[in-house]
Amino acid sequence: MKAVQVVGYHQNLEMADVDKPTPTGPFDVVVKIGGAGVCRTDLHILEGQWAEKSQVQLPYTIGHENAGWVEAVGSAVSNVSEGDKVIVHPLITCGLCRACRSGDDVHCEANAFPGIDTNGGYAEHLKTSARSVVKIDDALEPSDVAALADAGLTAYHAAAKAAKRLTPRDRAVVIGAGGLGHIGIQVLKALSPAELIVVDRNPEALKLADAIGADHGVIADGTQVDQVLELTGGSGAQTVVDFVGEDGATIEGIAMLRRAGDYHVVGYGENINVPTIDVISTEINFIGNLVGSYNDLCDLMALAARGAVNLHTQKYALDDFQSAITDLDNGNVRGRAILVP
Ligand SMILES: [Zn+2]
Ligand SMILES: [Zn+2]
């Protein structure tokens, strides 16, 4: 089968002809790929940023945002069968460790991560496990939802966690209405009764935010902290969900937070620099967010099936993988780039 592989760092990806995966373990599931999301993490992999962490042997097949149809199953698989339309949770997890048994499978002590440390989905087929596949509604197409498997799932996880603490009297600020942020906005709109303020430096992104549920758009022109304080009666927002996390976003985001508020870190890059006396005197909370759990993915698919979450996509044939990578690198992708075998 065709598979797009990492053959070396600081080198272009290459199309290869490799053996089609087959179920070898009892819980294996082979998925015929209907869509594979092209993610900024893929660019970081090519830059070698993940090499030490993943210890992956080259060449291997990249791609961790996958959806498609079940092609073959191992002898013990009972939750899906051949032909089922599925989205693939990015991790293969053990089901036996403490984290897995608490439903917190993202922190599984014995996980594999197709596309990062083992063969992924820029290919015609992908091998994953029964624990990782979520059947999706008939109305959804794999190529439309593939990027919800990671980008969307991360945004869902943070927004849903934030929404649990929000009441109708609260305001929530979303910093960054881009690829992840535009999913976070839709999830907050669906799950939280709070007033939603979206901050972005791009007027087009604010226009999109307005169309998908933001109550207020704030242009990040240097006056954004004052604008948010004005919109929150001078006291700041109960929650800030920061999808940027670099270029000074955190210093400004923290200044938008009210006493005892929650600061959700999703985007990353810079250090948080806050005097500890401010942390104790205001009792503000800093909350990290990784990708969501299997249950988060099921919840997100329920929202997608009822049309509450829509992902903007730009599709490419699998053979055109290089155009997708180049477009992403040059900032020429609207929404998420998806490879379709
Ligand atoms: Zn990703
Ligand atoms: Zn586990």
Cα–Cα distance measured from residue 232 to residue 258, given in angstroms and rounded to the nearest whole number: 9
177-197 pLDDT tens trace: 988 999 999 999 999 999 999
Residue 16: enclosing H or E segment and its boundaries? strand 14-17
β-pairing, 195-200 vs 125-129, is: unpaired
Over 70-137, what HEC string results? EEEECCCCCCCCCCCEEEECCCECCCCCHHHHCCCHHHCCCCECECCCECCCCECEEEEEHHHEEECC
Residue 331: per-residue pLDDT:
80
Instruction: For residue 153, report the distance from its CA to the centre of ligand 1, in Å.
Output: 9
Residue 98: per-residue pLDDT:
97
Instruction: For residue 236, report the distance from its CA to the centre of ligand 1, in Å.
Output: 32
Q: Residue 336's CB: how many other CB atoms inside 10 A?
A: 27
Residue 335: per-residue pLDDT:
79
Q: With a cut of 80, say whether residue 334 has pLDDT above it.
A: no
Cβ atoms 216, 229 nearer than 8 A: no
Q: How many CA atoms lie within 13 A of 222 on its CB side?
A: 0
Cα–Cα distance measured from residue 277 to residue 32, given in angstroms and rounded to the nearest whole number: 54
21-79 pLDDT tens trace: 999 999 999 999 999 999 989 999 999 999 999 999 999 999 999 999 999 999 999 99
Q: With a cut of 90, say whether residue 101 has pLDDT above it.
A: yes
Instruction: For residue 166, report the distance from its CA to the centre of ligand 2, in Å.
Output: 31
116-143 pLDDT tens trace: 999 999 999 999 999 999 999 999 999 9
| Residue closest to 298 by CA, chosen among 121, 183, 132 | 132
- The position carrying tokens 């996958």 is 66
Instruction: For residue 76, report the distance from its CA to the centre of ligand 2, in Å.
Output: 18
Residues 6+ apart with CB under 8 A from 28: 73, 74, 77, 127, 128, 129, 130
Share of residues in the chain with pLDDT > 70 (%): 100
User: What tokens were used for 282?
Assistant: 């205001």
For ion ligand 2, residues whose CB falls within 5 Å: 93-94, 97, 100, 108
What's the start-to-end Cα distance of the chain, in Å?
10
| Residue closest to 76 by CA, chosen among 29, 27, 30, 134 | 27
Instruction: For residue 131, report the distance from its CA to the centre of ligand 1, in Å.
Output: 19
3-state secondary structure of 154: helix
Alpha-carbon distances, residue 207 vs 211, 219, 223, 241 (angstroms): 6, 11, 19, 19
247-299 pLDDT tens trace: 999 999 999 999 999 999 999 889 999 999 999 999 999 999 999 999 999 99
Residue 269: per-residue pLDDT:
85
219-259 pLDDT tens trace: 999 999 999 999 999 999 999 999 999 999 999 999 999 99
Residue 332: per-residue pLDDT:
84
Q: How many CA atoms lie within 13 A of 308 on its CB side?
A: 16
For ion ligand 1, residues whose CB falls within 5 Å: 39, 41, 150
Q: With a cut of 90, say whether residue 8 has pLDDT above it.
A: yes
Cβ atoms 9, 47 nearer than 8 A: yes
Instruction: For residue 65, report the distance from its CA to the centre of ligand 1, in Å.
Output: 6
Strand segments, DSSP code E, in 193-334 are 195-200, 216-219, 237-242, 257-265, 285-288, 313-317
Instruction: For residue 110, report the distance from its CA to the centre of ligand 2, in Å.
Output: 5
